[in-house]
Amino acid sequence: MNILVLHGPNLNLFGRREPHIYGTTTLAEINERLGAIARELDVTLETFQSNHEGALIDKLHERIDSAQGALVNPAGLTQHGVPLHDAIKAMPFPVLEIHMSNIAAREAWRAHSIISPAVKATIQGLGWRSYTFGLRALVDLVRDNRQA
């Protein structure tokens, strides 16, 4: 099973950017934790971060036939990323939306996600655990769908 993890704009600054909101865990540490879980679950993991919406969309398109699921933290594209929304909807596999913070508990303009209607589910507000819980849930979903 191949799982894709996409990290959106500015997430390369995890650990430095607003640690009172996002904590001090770096993106590299999140990817390391995901890699350990992937090995435990016997799945292949590809992680990718970009500050450009088109690069995230290109990665989804590249993996349309080879991935079985994806985790996407759209970051600043959450509220306005129509092209990312459309690309996610085109995927034949389940996609989970991930947020380290609870976007509903932040500024009012952050509360609405244009991405949420395109994904299977959203996991948010758990810090780096949003990613690790998301990976475990996604692998379970894919395995359950294979058995159905």
As annotated, the active-site residues are 22, 99
How many of the other CB atoms lie within 10 Å of CB of 142? 18
Q: In whole angstroms, what is the distance from residue 95 CA to residue 109 CA?
A: 23
Helix-, strand-, coil-residue percentages of the chain, each rounded to 5:
50, 20, 35
Q: In whole angstroms, what is the distance from residue 132 CA to residue 147 CA?
A: 23
Token pair belonging to 45: 């993991």
